[in-house]
């Protein structure tokens, strides 16, 4: 089991550029999440998904879009990157309550927007 993996690990963008972050999990988890982590702000939820084909907004969704076309993948898109989106992005997944509810995180993507 690779667990939760994220691609890429690092990226530098110029303001206005677009990119997609890929998250993959091989644990057959129903729920998947995207967070950002910033100094002094803790972990904040951007978007999440409760199953294949579903997405929902979290606390800080503006400027981001997501898609979950396959159960194992959750994509986070930035259509027009801004310096305020410089952050470390974490993907996470968890099973349903019947399977324990423990949440697992990926290694993170460090994004810098110049």
Partner 1 sequence: KQEVTQIPAALSVPEGENLVLNCSFTDSAIYNLQWFRQDPGKGLTSLLLIQSSQREQTSGRLNASLDKSSGRSTLYIAASQPGDSATYLCAVRKVVKTSGSRLTFGEGTQLTVNP
Positions in the binding site for partner 1 (CB under 8 A): 4, 31, 33, 40, 42-43, 45, 48, 50, 56, 58, 90, 92, 97, 100-108
Identity of the residue, 17 or 105, whose beta carbon is nearer to partner 1 in the bound complex: 105
Token pair 């089991």 in the structure block, residue: 1
3-state secondary structure of 26: coil
Q: How far is the CB of 4 from partner 1 (least distance, A)?
A: 8
CB of 101 to partner 1, least distance (A): 6
Q: Which of 33/64 has CB closer to partner 1?
A: 33
Shortest distance, position 11 Cβ to partner 1, whole Å: 15
Tokens standing for residue 28: 């057959």
Minimum CB–partner distance for residue 54 and partner 1 (Å): 9
60: which 2 tokens?
Answer: 């800080």
| Residue 104 main-chain phi, psi, to 5 deg | -120, 145
How far apart are alpha carbons 33 and 76 in whole angstroms? 10
Residue bearing tokens 């503006």 = 62
């Amino acid at each position: 089991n690779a667990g939760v993996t994220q691609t890429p690990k690092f990226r530098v963008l110029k303001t206005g550029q677009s990119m997609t972050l890929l998250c993959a999990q091989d644990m057959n988890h129903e729920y998947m999440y995207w967070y950002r982590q910033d100094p002094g702000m803790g972990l904040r939820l951007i978007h999440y998904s409760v199953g294949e084909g579903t997405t929902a907004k979290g606390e800080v969704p503006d400027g981001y879009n997501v898609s979950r076309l396959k159960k194992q993948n959750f994509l986070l898109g930035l259509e027009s990157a801004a310096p305020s989106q410089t952050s470390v992005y974490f993907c996470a997944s968890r099973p349903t309550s019947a399977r324990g509810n423990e949440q697992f995180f990926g290694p993170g993507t460090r994004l810098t927007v110049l």
